[in-house]
A and B are shown apart, each in its own frame.
Chain A
């Protein structure tokens, strides 16, 4: 059943990501920003802050608070999406906020708010993972103290085999979808969701695959930041 030669709908290998490109610093008015293209996903993340908290009663005296908004553009889906925040978007906003929160050293910014705005310009499966990657790149670009970058990637089961990076088609027709986010250097998982059924062995295999995917994305995030900040002369200052 789980032969490696079963073709995926997209023609990818079981441990192959979609094409990913990340660019840091795309929005002038934001303190930090990133644009990610994750397969057909096109997602923009902008970070503002640390800044004053509004409304004031939300302020916490010894650390920062994080506000996150995940929003899909009306034209991001096949049929027009109503532009107001849906139940799903509010949930994903919360999930993303909790996924990036462990990476941020919030005690360094008491009485402030860090705002993360995520706009989905075009959506495919796995947009929450792509959004987390963009958000954490934007946070680093904003110069916020972080313990590590947050990388996210999904694994799942489609067509009877465990696969990396489940896309929209596989999500709809497949058996399971498991998005995870992690701090790669610290080996900590900050987001874990599982939709569907997996056996114990399949679960272990999927988790392993997702971690490999996260590490690949981590390298891409790192490249995007290096590209913006150190591009002209890598290593000239060393020695």
Chain B
């Protein structure tokens, strides 16, 4: 086997993935010279290190991730947004109104109310405090139409596919526009029929994310 080839296998927590001098990457721990998986998923041993691509788990925010969330709480200075994680995203007034934001002058309700859904970007997050989010950027902001489908956040890379191949496949075959939130929420825009088709495709990916022939399965589902 070549040194730069990728070796894959299924693992559960506690499984020894490989022994020897390898670099531990995500979802693994090193004990002695053993690399042990900490999650259920697919272990990948490559030149860059050993990692496990998880098949389940809650979303952990990362800086610059695009997320889709719902406003659950608001006060005079900020909105709290449920982003499908164990922390609420904080959208500050100044992130919406600009630096000149004044809680007495600007009406928070004119922008977002409780229950509003929005596409946002994670500005900063370091696990010691709640993630800050922002809506400045192309494609970000309040959601005015569409439907949100949910999937386990670790399966989002399979919905995107290699260089966006899977999104493209779904969009071209269903005429439904997808906006992907890294937190496992996917915004679907299109006709009722298109949304239904796209939703079933996402469900299929969710149930079969560990399989290699996902493309063929999605094609056969959509073309039915």
A: which residues have CB within 8 A of B?
31-32, 49-52, 61, 103, 105, 109-112, 140-149, 183-186, 222, 225-226, 229-230, 232-234, 236-238
Interface-side segment among B98-106, B164-172, B205-213: B205-213
Q: How far is the CB of A223 from chain B (nearest CB, A)?
A: 10
Question: Which A residue sits closest to B10, measured CB to CB?
Answer: A230
Which applies to chain B's interface (DSSP): helix, strand, loop or mixed?
Answer: loop
Cβ–Cβ contact A143 & B208, under 8 A: no
B residues near A236, Cβ cutoff 8 Å: 211-212
Residue B29 is within 8 A (CB to CB) of chain A in the complex:
yes
Given contacts A50-B58, A105-B29, A105-B38, contact A226 B12 (CB under 8 A): yes
Contact with A along B1-34 (1 / 0, CB 8 A): 0000000111011111000000000010101000
Assembly CA distance A198 to B208 (angstroms): 51
Q: What's the Cα separation between A193 and B218 when bound, in Å?
A: 52
Chain A nearest CB: distance from B127 CB in Å? 5
**Alpha-carbon separation in the docked complex, A16 to B11 (Å):** 28
Chain B, Cβ-Cβ closest to A49: B86
How far, in whole Å, are A148 and B212 apart by their CA atoms in the complex? 27
Task: Name A230's closest neighbour in chain B (CB-CB).
Answer: B10
Contact of A140 among B12, B29, B127, B212 (CB under 8 A): B12
A233 near B13: Cβ-Cβ < 8 Å: no
Beyond A109-B86, A146-B14, A148-B36, 10 additional contacts (C-beta under 8 Å) are A52-B86, A110-B127, A110-B128, A140-B13, A145-B39, A149-B12, A185-B16, A236-B211, A237-B9, A237-B211
Once bound together, how far apart are the Cα atoms of A233 and B10, in whole Å?
Answer: 11
Residues of A within 8 A of B160 (CB): none
**Contacts of A49 on B, CB cut-off 8 Å?**
58, 86
A226 neighbours in B (Cβ, 8 Å): 10, 12
B interface residues, Cβ below 8 angstroms from A: 8-10, 12-16, 27, 29, 31, 36, 38-40, 42, 54-58, 86-87, 127-128, 154, 208, 210-212
- Give the most central of B39, B86, B87: most A CB within 10 Å: B86
Q: A50-B86, A225-B40, A232-B211 are in contact. Are A183 and B27 (CB under 8 A)?
A: no
Contacting pair B12 A225 (CB below 8 A): yes
Cα distance A143–B39 in the bound complex, in angstroms:
6
A-side contacts of B15, CB under 8 Å: 185
Q: Select one of B8, B31, B208, B211 contacting A238, CB under 8 A.
A: B8
Give, as a whole number of angstroms, the nearest-CB distance from A87 to chain B. Answer: 32
Which residues of chain B have C-beta atoms less than 8 A from A111's C-beta? 87, 127-128
Inside 8 A of A183's CB, which chain B residues have their CB? 14
The answer to whether B12 touches A222, judged by C-beta atoms less than 8 angstroms apart, is yes
In the assembled complex, the CB of B184 is this many whole angstroms from the nearest CB of chain A, namely 12
Cβ of A143: which chain B residues have Cβ within 8 Å of it? 39-40, 54-58, 154
**Interchain CB contact under 8 A, A237 and B42:** yes
Closest beta carbon of chain A to B45's beta carbon, Å: 11
13 A–B contacts, CB within 8 A, in A order? A52-B87, A110-B127, A140-B12, A143-B54, A143-B56, A143-B57, A148-B36, A185-B14, A185-B36, A222-B12, A230-B10, A234-B10, A237-B8
B208 to chain A, nearest CB (A): 7
- Expressed in whole angstroms, the Cα–Cα distance for A32 and B55 within the complex equals 12
Q: Output the residue of A32, A143, A229, A230 with the most chain B CB within 10 A.
A: A143
Q: Are B13 and A147 in contact (CB under 8 A)?
A: yes
Q: A32-B56, A143-B40 are in contact. Are A149 and B86 (CB under 8 A)?
A: no
Chain B residues whose CB sits within 8 angstroms of the CB of A52 once the complex forms? 86-87
How far does the alpha carbon of A110 sit from the alpha carbon of B58 in the complex, in Å? 14
Q: Which residues of A contact B31 (CB under 8 A)?
A: 186
Find out whether the CB atom of A145 lies under 8 angstroms from the CB atom of B56. no
The interface residues of chain A lying within 8 Å CB-to-CB of B211 are: 232-233, 236-237
A148 contacts B210, C-beta separation under 8 Å: no
CB proximity of B43 to chain A, nearest CB, Å: 10
